[in-house]
Amino acid sequence: MQHFAELRYRGEETVGERRRMLEEHKQRIREQIAQLTVTLEVLNEKTDYYKEMERDRGEQRHDQEASVNCPRLFCVVF
């Protein structure tokens, strides 16, 4: 940023260089966004996986509790 400020101070003769600097910065930002998007997708998949594991675990616990808490003939497990 300091170099950009120096170029701006030098005036209109540096307009092209300043624009190129901004274009390069935009490209780096796009690359970072792409990397972050991939990371976010991986995190979404992982959290979905853990939610599914928790749900399955809860269903298993419910089944085990139901079989322990009531006689087999009268128990309905959902």
pLDDT tens for each residue of 24-39: 999 999 999 999 999 9
| CB proximity list for 4: less than 8 A, separation 6 or greater | 18, 21
Domains: count for the chain: 1
Pick 54 or 73 by higher pLDDT: 54
Q: What is the pTM of this model?
A: 0.62
Confidence of residue 78 (pLDDT cuts 50, 70, 90): very low
- Please give the backbone phi and psi of residue 53, each rounded to the nearest 5 degrees, phi first: -60, -45
Q: What's the pLDDT at 58?
A: 86
Mean pLDDT across the chain? 86
Task: Supply the range of the domain harboring residue 44.
Answer: 2-74
Q: How far apart are CA 18 and CA 11, in angstroms?
A: 10
- pLDDT value at 67 more than 80: no
